[in-house]
Amino acid sequence: MPNAENMLAVAGTRPRELAAPGLSPRPRRKVAVLSCMDTRIDLFAMLGLERGDAHIIRNAGGLVTDDVLRSLSASQRLLGTEEIIVVMHDGCGLHGASEDAFAQALAADGVLPSWRLGAFEDVEDTLRHSLARLRSSRELLAREHISGFVFNPEDGTLREVAASAE
């Protein structure tokens, strides 16, 4: 694992820079951000965040999964966040992917996961569904301040996607 060894070595040279003495696990801005794991998304630069400002949750697609709800529930109920921002993006690897082909590839390896890939055809429609799921999730205490955005990694723009009127 050359990357792991390299990363450990780098961290070993920077403990003072990495230490956060006195920094609370409670986000200063009382916000949790859910985003795709895509390497082109720099949430700190994009959203004007600094360490300690927000909880950051990332997964393939930036999708609201059961585990995301678990993390957001802990973020709100244990650590005081009151707002949720969801950032999806154009050119996502899940856009246009095949659920069936992915499941078949896993099955060929003898794997039958309990989860779905989460492939989608329309990023804005998928984001609207995610926002609706968050707003209806009783696990979450604060559901009034939930916003969704789509990032374009080609030109660096961020556009808000309004929730559907449901």
What are the two backbone dihedrals, phi and then psi, of residue 90, each rounded to the nearest 5 degrees?
Answer: -70, 150
> Does residue 115 have a pLDDT over 60?
yes
Strand partners, 135: none
Q: How many residues in the chain?
A: 166
Domain boundaries, the chain: 25-160
Phi then psi dihedrals of residue 159, to 5 deg: -120, 140
Q: What is the pLDDT of residues 69-96, one digit of tens each?
A: 999 999 999 999 999 999 999 999 999 9
This model's pTM is above 0.85: yes
Q: Does domain 25-160 have CATH number 3.20.20.220?
A: no
Which tokens belong to 59? 């997964």
pLDDT at 163: 73
Instruction: Round to whole Å and give the CA distance between 139 and 119.
Output: 25
